């Protein structure tokens, strides 16, 4: 990993702070930078040592944005980067690694609204330290259904000795995250996630779909996406802002909140999840306390799963 120090540690200047990035809400680039500065000590533990993909909207979310994996041109020498071979493009990509508030401010000033982090850290790049299960509700799925599925995923994981945490995606879905010891490779993580998905699908046949073709998914179901696991695949990190109206935030929550939602009459999950946004999240306590959770061993859990889940 490349680390260069500049002459000063002061935060970089914010350019065009009055530029509107969220036109329906009047939220400016200055507002975005201030948000990330206020939550710096909460978000930094979640991005520490992770290669980042940036989601940038220099002209605001009303115009086309872009995903940026290579470090921005002209990045200061003090911005940490790591160069990794990306097989999908057959070249080396120079990723940003954001470990300090100065870098966070610099990226926000580039209108990097959303930070997507790798599922592994630079010191153990081929071995994930989180396992991601993405719960994506279809258009007619009520809040109580996605909450019921999330609790079901948690309980199936618990049956093989794994604890999980949950957060909003910042959109209409939920992420269930299992913290791992970085000792098992991505292939093993994918195998485990596939078997988990099959068991959850069989346990909740009316609620869950594993169908990858959108047009074939039931309109009231939850799509359990276990395919977002692999070297180079990313997820929206906790406390990152999403490029959507009202500037929602991917918010860590506790399981008591999800259990309460299983009794909710709210029809659209996004209505409930949108209460966590740039204007409110900075003042909220982090229920995860800056950690994805105590790391757990995946290989023994997979062995136990194949025995107890009776998965062939």
| For the chain, domain boundaries | 20-125, 130-232+244-278+288-308
Q: Is 262 exposed, middle or buried (0-12, 13-18, 19+ CB in 10 A)?
A: middle
Q: Is 8 exposed, middle or buried (0-12, 13-18, 19+ CB in 10 A)?
A: exposed
- The model's pLDDT over 235-244, given as tens digits with 9 standing for 90+, comes to 999 999 999 9
What is the distance between the alpha carbons of residues 34 and 39, in angstroms, rounded to a whole number? 9
Beta bridge partners of 241: 249
**Model pLDDT, residue 7:** 42
What is the distance between the alpha carbons of residues 29 and 236, in angstroms, rounded to a whole number? 20
pLDDT confidence bin for 4, thresholds 50/70/90: low
**Of the candidate ranges 2-11, 45-54, 137-146, 230-239, the one whose mean pLDDT is the lowest:** 2-11
Beta bridge partners of 222: 137, 208
Which CATH architecture fits 130-232+244-278+288-308? Alpha-Beta Complex (3.90)
Q: Is 101 exposed, middle or buried (0-12, 13-18, 19+ CB in 10 A)?
A: middle
User: Which whole number is the average pLDDT over 49-61?
Assistant: 98
- The model's pLDDT over 269-297, given as tens digits with 9 standing for 90+, comes to 999 999 999 999 999 999 999 999 999 99
What is the distance between the alpha carbons of residues 53 and 280, in angstroms, rounded to a whole number? 25
**Model pLDDT, residue 312:** 47
Task: List alpha helices for the chain, DSSP H.
Answer: 29-38, 40-47, 101-109, 143-158, 186-203, 255-261, 269-273, 278-281, 298-308
The phi and psi torsions of 115 (rounded to 5 degrees) equal -110, 120
Which CATH architecture fits 20-125? Alpha-Beta Complex (3.90)
- The model's pLDDT over 75-108, given as tens digits with 9 standing for 90+, comes to 999 999 999 988 777 799 999 999 999 999 999 9
The pTM score is 0.94
* 130-232+244-278+288-308 and 20-125 share a CATH fold: yes
């Amino acid at each position: 990993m490349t680390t260069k120090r500049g002459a000063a540690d002061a935060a970089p200047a914010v350019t065009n702070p009055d530029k509107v990035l969220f036109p329906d809400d009047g939220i400016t680039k200055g507002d975005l930078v201030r948000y990330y500065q206020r939550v710096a000590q909460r978000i930094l533990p979640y991005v520490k040592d992770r290669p980042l993909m940036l989601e940038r909207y220099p002209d605001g979310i009303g115009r086309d944005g872009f995903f940026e994996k290579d470090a921005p041109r002209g990045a200061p020498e003090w911005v940490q980067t790591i160069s990794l071979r990306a097989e999908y493009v057959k070249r080396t990509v120079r990723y940003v690694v954001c470990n300090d508030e100065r870098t966070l401010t610099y990226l926000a000033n580039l209108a990097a609204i959303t930070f997507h982090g790798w599922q592994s850290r630079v010191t153990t790049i081929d071995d994930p330290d989180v396992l991601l299960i993405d719960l994506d509700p279809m258009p007619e799925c009520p809040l109580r259904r996605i909450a019921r599925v999330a609790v079901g995923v948690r309980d199936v994981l618990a049956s093989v000795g794994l604890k999980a945490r949950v957060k909003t995606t910042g959109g209409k879905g939920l992420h269930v995250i299992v913290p791992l010891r970085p000792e098992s490779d991505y292939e093993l993580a994918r195998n485990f996630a596939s078997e988990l998905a099959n068991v959850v699908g069989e346990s909740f046949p009316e609620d869950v779909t594993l169908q990858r073709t959108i047009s074939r998914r039931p309109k009231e179901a939850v799509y359990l996406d276990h395919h977002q696991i692999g070297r180079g695949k990313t997820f929206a990190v906790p406390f990152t802002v999403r490029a959507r109206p009202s500037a929602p935030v991917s918010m860590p929550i506790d399981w008591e909140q999800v259990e309460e939602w299983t009794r909710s009459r709210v029809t659209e999950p996004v209505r409930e999840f949108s209460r966590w946004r740039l204007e409110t999240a900075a003042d909220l306590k982090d229920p995860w306390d800056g950690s994805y959770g105590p790391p757990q061993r995946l290989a023994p859990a997979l062995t136990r799963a194949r025995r107890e889940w009776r998965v062939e």
